[in-house]
Structure 1
Amino acid sequence: MYHLMKRIIVGLFAAFILYSCNLISAAGLSSAGQPTKEVNGDLTSTTANSAENVDHSAWDALLKKHVNAAGMVDYEGFQKDRAKLDAYLKKLSSYNPSDDWSVQELLAYYINLYNAYTVELILNNYPVKSIKDIDGAWTKAIVPVGNRELSLGGIENGVLRKMNEPRIHFAINCASMSCPKLLNEAYTAGKINEQLDKVTKEFVNSDKNDITASNPKVSSIFDWYKSDFITDKTPTVIDYINQYSKTKINKGATLTYKNYDWNLNKQ
């Protein structure tokens, strides 16, 4: 009887673990075994010390052609260039990132992967008013990488957020008006630090936030991902924002968060 009860308990525990893992995967949190490297100290831009240097020039050309300076996207134009986009996506998915890749190369790869497959998702469901109208937009495994399949949520939460670089939140684009803008150039290891700095400064000082010294209203991104912005260097979200904001927020101020506009970022 004791052994039977033990087997039942072990079986129930295993089922619970499996169920929990499935929930995590379904919630778009799973990395699907992808490598994650943490940024240690200040990030530098370099193509050195990496087993792979991915060529993102095809994506760069598409972005320059179909995304304006404000980050608004010409989805009809992208539709006409589907062959070029599909070729780039196929190339990205043929790679099998590993720990032999530098942290710079991994950051550029996963940011471009997220952004390019988000554009693909919109095109596959076009016309659509909002990405939130697409079933499982962030939870379905629609992104093949090597012999694995990831969700957009998995790339964000399971990979990029684990790399100890909160500026990724201003580089990945969820195809919505309140999102950080889609940069009209590809991220590359050789420029990654400067690019992340640029998009972070632009976002913080844009109309996505209404920053004053005593009554700041900021993007919900700073609420949803609060834990990513709090570090030894920046013990509060205000400290993080003040690194980039032209207007400094008072230490004792209370942040309020703006409503998020999920309408499509269409030109």
Structure 2
Amino acid sequence: MSPLSRLAIFGLLLFTAACQSGCAYVRYFTPLNPTSKDSRPVSHAPWDALLQKHVNEQGMVNYAAFQADSAALNTYLTTLSDNLPSDQWSDQERLAYWLNAYNAFTIQRVLRAYPLKSIKDLGGDKTLVNTVWDQPFIRLGNDKHTLNDIEQRIIRKRFEEPRIHFALVCAAMSCPKLRNEAYVAARLNQQLDEQATEFVNNPAKNKLTPADKPEVSSIFSYYPKDFAKDGNSIQKTINRYATQKINPDATLSYMTYDWALNEQGK
């Protein structure tokens, strides 16, 4: 074998090894659209009952009590897994389904390892590669997927809706509050508006004074393009819901994200 051939093979091996540890994020560029042929919209009443029972008005979770209801949660998630959206569902029905699925599977993942201090303890530290959000524990039909698949490949790819970032909850203190009711198609727009208003005006998540230099949630820095579509901006999004307006050209800084578990009593 020539030196050039050996060099090419060596380079290929290095590339393969690197991709095994660092190229997993590439999957998130590909849209995902798992569907069922003839399914009807799922009732989210079981999830609604669990949220009302174990989540308070501040969005804090009683994980210990929730753990005792794991069977009911698992039954609901099995229903979701077996009844993917069909092409006959409205966009509101689809989005409500995926928001509830993301939040409910997040709770399930925490409960499987509870007690713990942070959901980040359940995975590695390489974003979009080996974190807890990159673990394929979610069954959708016959395939296994990740939390990031639901957020990055389904919700963000299919729905032009920045308010999803005020509704998806990653079990951490700096996340939006976990709503203590399920999302439902008939009231989804109102629910998303309420989530946005609560999040933007929560001083623990966004410090809107001084108006020229507010300190806002890092969520806005994680997804800046989602808030910049159709002539919008982060500042415009904040002012759409804020009671204390910020300057349209305000210089933004971002708060340190608190990944401590959103647990009652903390």
Quickly name the TM-score band, shorter chain normalised.
0.7 to 0.9
Residue among 94, 100, 113 paired with 2:88: 100
Amino acid at match of 1:250: N
Partners of 1:104 and 1:148 in 2: CA distance: 24
Q: Give a deviation string over 1:236-265, Cα, whole Å, max 9, x none.
A: 211111111111111222000000000000
Q: CA deviation at 1:149?
A: 1.7
Match of 2:59 in 1: 71
Match of 1:265 in 2: 262
Match of 1:231 in 2: 229
Partners of 2:77 and 2:183 in 1: CA distance: 15
Q: CA deviation at 1:27?
A: 6.5
Partners of 2:68 and 2:221 in 1: CA distance: 38
Partners of 1:98 and 1:25 in 2: CA distance: 28
Residue among 178, 199, 212 paired with 2:195: 199
Q: CA deviation at 1:98?
A: 3.1
Partners of 2:66 and 2:34 in 1: CA distance: 30
Match of 1:181 in 2: 177
Partners of 1:32 and 1:253 in 2: CA distance: 34
| Distance verdict in 2 for CA 1:186–1:21, change over 3 Å | farther
Partners of 1:129 and 1:29 in 2: CA distance: 28
Partners of 2:171 and 2:132 in 1: CA distance: 11
Match of 1:144 in 2: 139
Q: CA deviation at 1:72?
A: 0.2
Q: Aligned Cα RMSD in Å?
A: 2.6
Amino acid at match of 2:152: N
**2:237 matched to 1:249?**
no
Residue among 237, 242, 262 paired with 1:240: 237
Q: CA deviation at 1:204?
A: 0.3
* Structure with greater helix percent: 2
User: Residue 115 of structure 1 aligns to a residue in which SS?
Assistant: helix
Number of corresponding residues: 240
Q: Give a deviation string over 1:128-159, Cα, whole Å, max 9, x none.
A: 10011002310011111112221001111111
Match of 2:155 in 1: 160
Considering Cα pairs closer than 8 Å and 6+ residues apart, tell me whether 1 or 2 has the greater RCO.
Answer: 1
Match of 1:34 in 2: 33
Runs of 4+ in 1 over 3 A off after TM superposition: 19-28, 30-33
| Distance verdict in 2 for CA 1:51–1:91, change over 3 Å | closer
CA contact (8 A) 1:27 1:139 kept: no
Q: Which 5+ residue runs of structure 2 have no aligned equivalent?
A: 1-7, 124-130
Match of 1:126 in 2: 114
User: Residue 185 of structure 1 aligns to a residue in which SS?
Assistant: coil
Match of 2:5 in 1: none
> What percentage of aligned pairs have identical amino acids?
49
Q: CA deviation at 1:76?
A: 0.6
Partners of 2:184 and 2:29 in 1: CA distance: 25
CA contact (8 A) 1:28 1:152 kept: no
Q: CA deviation at 1:32?
A: 7.3
User: Residue 238 of structure 2 aligns to a residue in which SS?
Assistant: helix
CA contact (8 A) 2:34 2:140 kept: no
Partners of 2:194 and 2:56 in 1: CA distance: 16
CA contact (8 A) 1:35 1:99 kept: no
